């Protein structure tokens, strides 16, 4: 899979931008706050409909403008695709595939398979459960349209149920309708949970081996899916927590409260691991993510590396660079020295300065 080109209009600090990428390594360097990450953000948005930063659509539109346009051309298994995204300040985003508008932006998922790696991802082990759920959901949504639909339905049901729980405080007769939402919560929730269990089983086969190599055979990483229901089924948990939910006006059990546990030698490194262990585990997880995408789609994803090398020691830098030589990579950094020192093959270099990009080749 290759991203061939990117065009931006009124996106972040880019009034107009037209880039053509190399099929392997593309490096964007320059000082901080010049717009390097904005390029990766635009590519990620075209593939997932969302910003990796969690930014609202209106905030990605250039200051003083009403709308923004992103165009990405992709070659997937020899088939060309063009993806267009229109961001508007006062209305939902629009999207098109090969110039044909799509009704739901989620239809874009799976055309471009992306793995995004930023310094924030190195904290996924020590951060809260929301980050780890987001990791599962974003990867599964790119790989499995059925999971994406089940997750959307589940989130819709949770929101509706929470709204009902709040309204019940003023209209007790609404209690009779809670059963309907409970049934849907259980139905879609169980499907989401099964998708996550399968994903963790599959990625576990990969991540342990990668982590073992990264640590010179000293450690093996094991991931465990931790549903919020514990040993109970979702149906049992929903029934048990019903009165509590009514009292708290919120849904307390379900996939929206799940987590992933990371263990080394039976130790939960979320709580007891050193920073080095947590960062190595995060790197292992990202490399395993690349590998699982390869296995599922029988192609390579596009890797977006956002100033990660500066956060890794030499050993981890070398392992990462050695692992990505065969896939298209878009890399941001402040300087290209670490790549030169590593003798890393650099195919195309861009200098980014205040919203202007210069091809240095």
> What would the pLDDT profile of 104-134 be if each residue is shown by its tens digit?
877 888 899 999 999 889 999 999 999 999 9
CB 234 within 8 A of CB 258: no
Those residues whose C-beta lies under 8 Å from the C-beta of residue 183, and which sit 6 or more positions away, are: none
Per-residue pLDDT of 167-193, as tens digits, reads 998 887 888 899 999 999 999 999 999
**In Å, how far from its chain's centre is CA 268?**
23
Q: In this predicted structure, what is the pLDDT of residue 30?
A: 92
Report whether 273 belongs to an annotated binding site. Answer: no
pLDDT of residue 343 exceeding 70, the answer is no
Three-state DSSP at 268 gives: strand
- Segment 198-211 mean pLDDT: 96
- State what percent of residues in the chain have pLDDT above 70: 99
Report whether 31 belongs to an annotated binding site. Answer: yes
pLDDT of residue 313 exceeding 90, the answer is no
Closest by CA to 83, choosing from 73, 93, 92, 94, is 73
Q: In this predicted structure, what is the pLDDT of residue 214?
A: 93
Per-residue pLDDT of 143-175, as tens digits, reads 999 999 999 999 999 999 999 999 998 887 888
Q: What is the pTM of this model?
A: 0.92
Neighbours of 272 (CB within 10 A): 10
Those residues whose C-beta lies under 8 Å from the C-beta of residue 345, and which sit 6 or more positions away, are: 24, 25, 325
pLDDT of residue 227 exceeding 80, the answer is yes
Report whether 213 belongs to an annotated binding site. Answer: no
Per-residue pLDDT of 270-302, as tens digits, reads 999 999 999 999 999 999 999 999 999 999 999
Neighbours of 36 (CB within 10 A): 26
Mark 157-182 as b/e (b = at least 16 C-beta within 10 Å). Answer: bbeebbebbeebeeeeeeeeebeebb
Could you tell me the end-to-end alpha-carbon distance of the chain, in angstroms, rounded to an integer?
23
Q: In this predicted structure, what is the pLDDT of residue 215?
A: 93
CB 245 within 8 A of CB 252: yes
Residue 169 sits at φ, ψ, to 5 deg, of -65, -25
CB 3 within 8 A of CB 112: yes
pLDDT of residue 307 exceeding 70, the answer is yes
Report whether 37 belongs to an annotated binding site. Answer: yes
- pLDDT range class, residue 330, cuts 50, 70, 90: very high
Measured CA to CA, the distance from residue 142 to residue 114 in angstroms comes to 8
Report whether 335 belongs to an annotated binding site. Answer: no
- Segment 252-274 mean pLDDT: 96
Alpha helices in the chain (DSSP H): 36-48, 57-60, 129-143, 145-167, 178-214, 234-240, 242-248, 269-272, 275-297, 314-323, 337-341
Give the DSSP letter of residue 336.
S
Greatest mean pLDDT range, 92-101, 184-193, 300-309 = 184-193
- State what percent of residues in the chain have pLDDT above 90: 79
Q: In this predicted structure, what is the pLDDT of residue 342?
A: 67
């Amino acid at each position: 899979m290759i991203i061939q080109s990117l065009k931006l209009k009124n996106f972040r600090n880019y009034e107009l931008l037209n880039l053509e990428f190399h099929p392997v390594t593309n490096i964007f360097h320059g000082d901080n706050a010049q717009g390097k990450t904005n390029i990766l953000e635009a590519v990620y948005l075209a593939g997932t409909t969302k910003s990796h930063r969690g930014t609202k659509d209106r905030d990605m539109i250039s200051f003083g403008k009403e709308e923004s346009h992103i165009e990405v051309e992709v070659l997937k298994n020899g088939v060309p695709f063009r993806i267009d995204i229109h961001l508007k300040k006062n209305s939902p985003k629009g999207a098109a595939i090969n110039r044909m508008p799509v009704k739901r932006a989620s239809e874009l998922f799976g055309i471009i398979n992306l793995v995004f790696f930023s310094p924030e991802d190195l904290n996924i082990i020590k951060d809260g459960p929301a980050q780890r759920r987001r990791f599962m959901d974003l990867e599964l949504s790119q790989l499995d349209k059925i999971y994406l639909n089940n997750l959307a339905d589940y989130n819709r049901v949770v929101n509706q149920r929470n709204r009902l729980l709040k309204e019940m405080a003023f209209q007790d007769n609404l209690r009779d309708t809670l059963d309907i939402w409970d049934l849907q919560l259980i139905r879609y929730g169980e499907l989401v949970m099964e998708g996550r269990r399968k994903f963790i089983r599959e990625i576990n086969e990969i991540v342990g081996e990668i982590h073992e190599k990264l640590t010179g055979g000293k450690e093996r990483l094991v991931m465990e899916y931790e549903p919020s229901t514990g040993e109970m089924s979702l149906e049992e948990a929903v029934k048990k927590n019903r009165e509590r939910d009514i009292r708290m006006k919120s849904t307390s059990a379900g996939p929206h409260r799940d987590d992933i546990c990371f263990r080394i030698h039976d130790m939960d490194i979320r709580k007891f691991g050193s920073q080095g262990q947590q960062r190595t585990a995060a790197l292992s997880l990202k490399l395993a993510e690349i590998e699982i995408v390869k296995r599922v789609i029988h192609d390579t994803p596009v890797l977006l590396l956002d100033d990660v090398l500066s956060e890794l020691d030499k050993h981890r830098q070398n392992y990462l660079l050695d692992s990505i030589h065969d896939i298209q990579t878009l890399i941001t950094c402040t300087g290209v020295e670490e790549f030169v020192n590593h003798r890393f093959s650099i195919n195309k270099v861009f200098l980014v300065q205040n919203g202007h990009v210069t091809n240095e080749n």
